[in-house]
Amino acid sequence: MQSFDRLVRAEFQPETVYLNTATLGLLPARSVAALRDAVASVAAGQPSDMFADVEASRAAFARIAGVPVTRVAVGASVAVYSGLIAASLPPGAEVLTAEDDFSSLVNPFHVRGDLKVRAVPLERIAESVTADTALVAVSAVQSADGRLVDLPALRAAAREHGARILLDASQAAGWLPLAAADVDYVAVVAYKWVLCPRGVAFLVVPEDLGGLTPLFAGWAAGEHPWQSTYGPVQELARSARRFDESPALLSYAAARHSLALIEELGVEAVHAHDLALADRFRAGLATLGHEPVAAPGSAIVSVPGLGHRQGELSRAGIQVSDRAGNLRAAFHLYNTDADVDRLLNAL
């Protein structure tokens, strides 16, 4: 624990009680330095090799997700990847989603116009898979309130009925141990719990590339990118790289260092740290007479009826979110017991 705390203190010195990682993660000092260096290199007319940073980021995320690097595409948003998968479905295919899941995940299936999109309560999603279900699109952790999907039950139901799973792990990757190899597709925006700048996202696809057509493939998706810069790409990458968006290079210059920090700390250690803080907050809420949304095992705690206090707390130097009238607190590696107690005292 001492090495964990020492490493975290070396990377983060927030000037507020920052409990809002579910909105935006803090950048580690090493990533800030790398980003400054990359910007300076461009300003000096001697840009650093940021394509190497992209590949280092891809490899680091693959290790965190527990999949071969050949299954990982890089990009900038979940919505683009949801749209890519939506475009692969035949007309009339059924897509099962959780009620009120994050729009970037579910909306691309709605705008197709010719898919059957069915939304059910999160707690019923596994039992709602049927032989007609082509795809289940669901967040591993709900953004609004931190509830976790029962992934083992969902995997079993999907296997039984021949459905594929698209898992949005944006609110999970970095603190919740996940076996991405156990589902078909995993999409992640990395500016939350894996502490990258905006403009970094990852998509995990099956070994067989999931039958996806790389509709937005540009030169970066070529097997030999620098030989694919003019005219039609002669050979698409033989790996998930064929689904790459042209990367936001400056963001990836920092991302490789953020992902390296998560690897150094270890997701299991971050998970234990975050849950201890969330459980401390839940216990404190009980003494105050407040009952959060039931989300056992989550680093996100959402308290009904207290969202209106977000502005007041912000002015007091405590950063939380207001989501649909609920106060949402997200506990991550740079938070401490003292942060929890300060929020409880303010409430």
CA gap 214, 217 in Å, rounded: 5
- For the chain, domains (ranges, CATH) are 2-27+265-346 (3.90.1150.10), 42-263 (3.40.640.10)
Q: What is the pLDDT of residues 17-63, one digit of tens each?
A: 999 999 999 999 999 999 999 999 999 999 999 999 999 999 999 99
Answer whether 253's CB lies under 8 Å from 35's CB.
yes
- Identify the H or E element spanning 10: helix 2-11
pLDDT in tens, 242-299: 999 999 999 999 999 999 999 999 999 999 999 999 999 999 999 999 999 999 999 9
pTM listed for this prediction: 0.95
The pLDDT confidence band at residue 2, using thresholds 50, 70 and 90, is low
Which band of pLDDT confidence, cut at 50, 70 and 90, is reported for residue 210? confident
DSSP code string of 18-53: E-BTTT-PPPPHHHHHHHHHHHHHHHTT----HHHH
* Model confidence at 9: pLDDT above 90: yes
133-139 vs 94-98, strand pairing mode: parallel
pLDDT tens digit string along 64-109? 999 999 999 999 999 999 999 999 999 999 999 999 999 999 999 9
Asked if 277 contacts 337 with a C-beta cutoff of 8 angstroms, the reply is yes
